[in-house]
Amino acid sequence: MDKHQLAQKAAQEVDVDEVVRLTQALVRIESYYPGPGEQPVVDFLEPYLRERGFKTTVQAVAPGRPNLIADLGEGPGGLILEGHTDVVTHGPLERWTHPPYEARIVEGRIYGRGACDMKGGLAAAICAAVAVQKVLGAPRKTLRLCIPCDEEGLMTGIKAFIRAGYAEGFAGALICEPEENQVCLWQKGAMRVWVRFQGRMAHGAMPYAGANPIPSASRFVVALRELQAALQAESQHEHLGLPWITPTVVEAGAGEGQFNVIPDQVKVGLDIRTNPGQDHRALLARLGQAMEESLEAGVSATLEVFEDRPATETPRDAVLVQAVEQGLRLLQMPVRYGGVPGATDGTFLSAWAGLPIVTIGPGGRTIPHQADEFVEISELLSAARLYAVVSVQMLLG
């Protein structure tokens, strides 16, 4: 059989019942952090994969927070299938119609925390890799399942994976995030920033004896609207939309009940989202200027970037992109392009490891992190078949 016939055979070998069962099993394992963490998922998946012929490695990242790596084959030039094990918290249980860790099936959907983001995509990738093993055995190139922790936080899992050299020698990576099975070649960049305004404490009845940082911080937050409007006038992406500067945290006060005390500090947290081509250093300079212009007498300020994630863009002529497009056509699925509104582990596989990435997976992009999160079973199965087809094409290409 030629490469395309083997790819089709791999798609046919995907165990559709197991895709559903594995998704349910993963959803039933609570893996939010802070909380149970990702260790229970790795404890479940490591023997599962080893029993199916994969060479497994558990990489310690932090206490109770491991990465799992599982390989078929040993040669260079292969493919990474990536899906994280952590989920966000379930929040108030009374908001859920279907309990978050029961993985109920209702009208063709699996409900539960992580069903969409992204235990469904992870299950699809694993079942696809098992199907590839049935068709190719141990391929000459490596098919690597990268199953990291902490994607929802500071992405320490994928950073540790890359620093340890586990991304070296591959031709690309499929990021199995919920993107409605669209071919996402673009991801927004992100910066997380603290801006601290320092004043001087005083009695509320005698404000002239101190320096209140709250008015300066307020002026800064208002000025962000003008800066955001300028950024949006400069960049609007076909698949990513507009850049955003969003204040998400404002902390001030001298302590609970201290209404008569002028605080000495205000802390403003910013969630910034950028498009490809926007220079983060230039943006930080503009933020710094807005910060300085907001200051009143006796108040100073500092700006700290504690996470910087560049926007990514994968060329349409990349071999991986061509394999994904061919795989969709082979399966008679539509070839639809899209963009990732947030950052993913693929951000660092692209920026740090230099890998071509395509983000494509089952689930609606607006569904994650909500109560009654769900994934359509039909999308799960389509994704699993696609991952199997693309893997064979990349391994035999």
Report residue 253: phi and psi, to 5°.
Answer: 110, 150
Query: Does the CA dihedral 314-320-325-328 come out positive or negative?
Result: negative
How many residues are present in the chain?
A: 397
Check residue 257 and give its pLDDT: 80
CA dist list (Å): 16 to 13, 193, 356, 359: 9, 44, 29, 22
Check residue 303 and give its pLDDT: 98
Spatial contact of 303 and 287, defined as CB atoms under 8 Å apart = yes
- Pairwise CA distance, residues 52 & 342, whole Å: 34
* Tokens matching residue 100: 């978050």
Prior bond to 34 cis, omega within 30?
Answer: yes
* Tokens matching residue 67: 């990465």
Does residue 131 register a pLDDT over 90? Answer: yes
Tens digits of per-residue pLDDT, 142-171? 999 999 999 999 999 999 999 999 999 999
Give all strands (DSSP E) within 36-142, no chain letters. Answer: 55-62, 65-72, 78-82, 105-106, 109-111
Half-sphere exposure of 119 (CA within 13 A, CB side): 33
Does residue 99 register a pLDDT over 90? Answer: yes
Over residues 26-34, the mean pLDDT reads 97
Nearest of 132, 181, 170 to residue 3 by alpha carbon: 132
Over residues 69-89, the mean pLDDT reads 97
The pTM score is 0.94
Does residue 1 register a pLDDT over 90? Answer: no
Over residues 330-348, the mean pLDDT reads 96
Half-sphere exposure of 280 (CA within 13 A, CB side): 18
Over residues 56-62, the mean pLDDT reads 98
Average pLDDT, the chain: 97
Check residue 14 and give its pLDDT: 98
The contacts found for 293-297 with CB under 8 angstroms, 24 or more apart, are 293/223, 294/216, 294/217, 294/219, 294/220, 294/223, 295/197, 295/216, 296/211, 296/212, 296/215, 296/216, 296/219, 297/211
Nearest of 298, 282, 296, 305 to residue 220 by alpha carbon: 296
- Pairwise CA distance, residues 89 & 251, whole Å: 23
Spatial contact of 25 and 126, defined as CB atoms under 8 Å apart = no
Check residue 397 and give its pLDDT: 85
Does residue 255 register a pLDDT over 90? Answer: no
- Pairwise CA distance, residues 37 & 47, whole Å: 18
Check residue 313 and give its pLDDT: 97
* Tokens matching residue 178: 């919920």
What is residue 295's DSSP assignment? P
Count Cβ atoms below 10 Å from residue 24 Cβ, excluding itself: 19
Tens digits of per-residue pLDDT, 284-337? 999 999 999 999 999 999 999 999 999 999 999 999 999 999 999 999 999 999
* Tokens matching residue 66: 């491991």
Share of the chain above pLDDT 90, in %: 97
